[in-house]
Structure 1
C-alpha cells in the first residue's frame, strides 16, 4: 500500500433548484471529505490507498462505504458505528468564488474514533500517512487518535504528510492554533496555504513562513498561494512554481485536496520537488473545473493532456 489516510467523509447535499437553500426544493446527494478526496485523487493516478474512519450503521453510511470502495480505495479499516449517525453537510455553490458550507456533523460516527480503532499492522504497510487538521478538531478522542497514528507512522518509517486544512467553524482559534502547531512539529511534509501559515504564526511573508515551518522540524514545506502557484522549501533550497491558468473556476471546493494528491503522487513517483509541485498545481486546477469535491480529479492521461500541449510545452506560462 502506498498511502493511508484517516478522517471523516460525509454526505453532501447541494441545492439543484436554486443556489440558495432557503429557496431549494430539490437536492443532489454526493459525498465529501478531505481525506477521501485525496484518496480518490491518488487512486485515479494509479496509487494504492487505504482509508481509516467510522461511518454510521445507517443507509447513508453504507452507501458512502460502497462508493469509496468503488473508487478503488481500501476500506477494510472503516468501521460501522451503531450508536452514531453518518455526518452530513450542505453546500451552496453561488458562483465559482462564492461557496458556502453548513455542517451537521456534531456527534457523528467519525467523531467517535479513538486510538483503539487503529490497526498498527495495517498502517505499517504504507509508505506515507496523510492527515489533516480537520480530524483532531472533531473531538478529543479524534485528537488522541491522530497523535497515536503519528506515533505508529514514525515507529514504522512512514513519511507523514500534513495539510492543516483549517476549519474555524469546528473549534476555537486558540485550540486550533495550538494543535496545528503541535502536529506541524511532528510532520515530515507540510502543505499549508499562506492564510493558514499566517493564522499559525502571525506572519504573511511566504519566505518567512516557509522558514518557520522548517524550523518546526519539517523536511519539506509546500506553501500554497491559490491560483498563482506554490512555493517549496527545504533546508537547502526554495523555489516558486507557478500555477496553471483556467478560464473559469466552477467549484473551488476540493482544489486543496487535489493539490495534496498531486504532491503525494509526485513523491511516490520520485519526481524532483519542482515537478512534484507542478503536478500538484495541475491537479488542483483541474479539480476546480467540475462541480463537486472530487469529480474533477484527473487520471494520468487527463493530467498529461492538461499539463502539456502536443509539443510538450508547459501551458502554465
Structure 2
C-alpha cells in the first residue's frame, strides 16, 4: 500500500532494528490462522429436491421400481461447472431429513461449496415424482409448496463471497417459489451488479408455478441486470414478440444483456453477442432422458466463459454438455468432465 503524501518516519522514531523481546514463558503459542476458502468462480442459489423416478414405462403402481436421486436447476449448473474444473457454490435450504442430507452430500461429493446452505428442522425437503407414462412421455409431479426450498431468503446470502465471485447464476424457477425466495434472487443480482460480477439469468419459466403474466412482470425486472440471458423461444415470448430465433435473441439484448442465448433443443442453439450471431447444431446422440438438458447446456456455456473462451467455443461446449446429459438417466448424472469431452467432441459440430 502506498503511504499517503506528506507522511514519513517521525523524527523522534528510530529506524534502527531492535532486538526481539523474548516472550514470557507463560505466553500462549500464537493461534494458527483460520484458513479462508477462496471465493467461488460461480455463485448460485435456488431449490434442490429429492427425485423418485420410475425405471420402467407404465403408470405408477404398487411395486413399481423407482430410482431415488435428487435434482435442482441451479444445483445442476453448479455441478456441471465444477466437473469442468471451476469452483462453484450453491446456496439454498433443505429439510433436516434424509432427503436433505442426500442433496448436500451429493453436492459436496461433486466439489460444490454448500457452506451457504441451511437446513430447516420444521419442514421437509421437496420431492419430484417422475413417471415414465409411456416409453417416450414423461409425467412429473412436484411436492414443493411451502417446503424447505421455498424458505430461501435474502439473509441466506453470503454477500461477501457473492461479490468476490466471477459469475452469479439465477433462474426464473426460484423467484416463483415464494416471496422470500424472490427477494433473495433480486438481492443477489443487485449485489452482483454493484460488485461487477457477471450475471447469468436462465428464464426457465414453469407454468405450473405461476402465470405467464406474473412471470413476465417479475422476471422482466431481472432481465436488465443480466449480462447473459438464456431462454427457449417460448420463454423469450414473455418479453419479446414471436419471431425468428436470431431476431428474438437480438430483441432480448435490447433489455440490457450483452449476450442472449436461445436454446433450440434438437435444432441446437444460437447466441447474439453485439452485432454477431453464432449458430450451433445439436450434437447427435441417443436421447435417454431429456430432463436437465437445458441446465447442462448452461453449465457448459458458463464454464467456457470462465475459461475465457470466445463465444463460438462457449456454444460448442454447451452443446456437448447438453448431449452428455440427455444420453444418461437423471438431471445431472451425465454431466461430463474435461477428460470425457473428446468422447463426443471429435465431431465438427459448429458452423
**TM-score, normalization by structure 2:** 0.85
Q: Are the aligned partners of 1:3 and 1:127 in contact in 2 as well (CA < 8 Å)?
A: yes
Partner of 2:164, secondary structure, is coil
Deviation (angstroms), 1:268: 0.7
Displacement after TM superposition at 1:26 (Å): 3.2
Q: Distance in 2 between matches of 1:185 and 1:315?
A: 32
161 and 96 in structure 1: CA distance in 2 versus 1, 3 angstrom threshold = farther
Partner in structure 1 of residue 169 of structure 2 = 130
Greater shift in the superposed pair: 90-99 or 297-306: 90-99
Contact 1:197 1:204 survives alignment (8 Å): no
| Distance in structure 2 (CA, Å) of the matches to 1:233 and 1:11 | 36
Partner Cα separation in structure 1 for residue 173 and residue 314 of structure 2 = 24
Q: Is the 8 A contact 2:261 2:270 kept in 1?
A: yes
In 2, are the aligned partners of 1:61 and 1:80 still within 8 Å (CA)?
Answer: yes
Query: In the alignment, what sits opposite 1:203?
Result: 242
Q: 1:51 aligns with which of 68, 86, 90?
A: 90
Structure 2: segments with no counterpart, 5+ residues: 1-39
Q: More deviation in 23-32 or 263-272?
A: 23-32
Does the 8 Å CA contact 2:292/2:325 hold for their aligned counterparts? yes
Q: Deviations over 1:49-81 (max 9, x none)?
A: 000001011121122211111111000000011
Give the SS at the match of 1:191: strand
Q: Where in structure 2 are the equivalents of 1:1-317 lying within 5 Å?
A: 1-16=40-55, 18-22=57-61, 25-94=64-133, 97-246=136-285, 248-308=286-346, 313-314=347-348
What secondary structure sits across from 1:110 in the alignment? Answer: helix
Instruction: Provide the alpha-carbon RMSD of the alignment.
Output: 1.6
Whole-angstrom distance in 2 between the partners of 1:22 and 1:80: 32
Alpha carbons 1:93, 1:251 under 8 Å: kept? no
> How far off its partner does 1:201 sit?
2.4
CA shift, 1:95, in A, is 5.8
User: CA offset at residue 212 of structure 1?
Assistant: 1.4
Structure with greater helix share of residues: 1
String of CA shifts for 1:287-314, please: whole Å, max 9, x gaps.
1001111111111121123111xxxx51
* CA-to-aligned-CA distance 1:210-249 (integer Å, 9 cap, x gap): 1211110001111111121111102221121222111x21
Instruction: After superposing the two structures, state which structure 1 stretch, 9-18 or 38-47, moved more.
Output: 9-18
- Give 5+ residue unaligned stretches, structure 1: none
Partner Cα separation in structure 2 for residue 184 and residue 67 of structure 1:
31
Which of the pair has more CA radius of gyration? 2
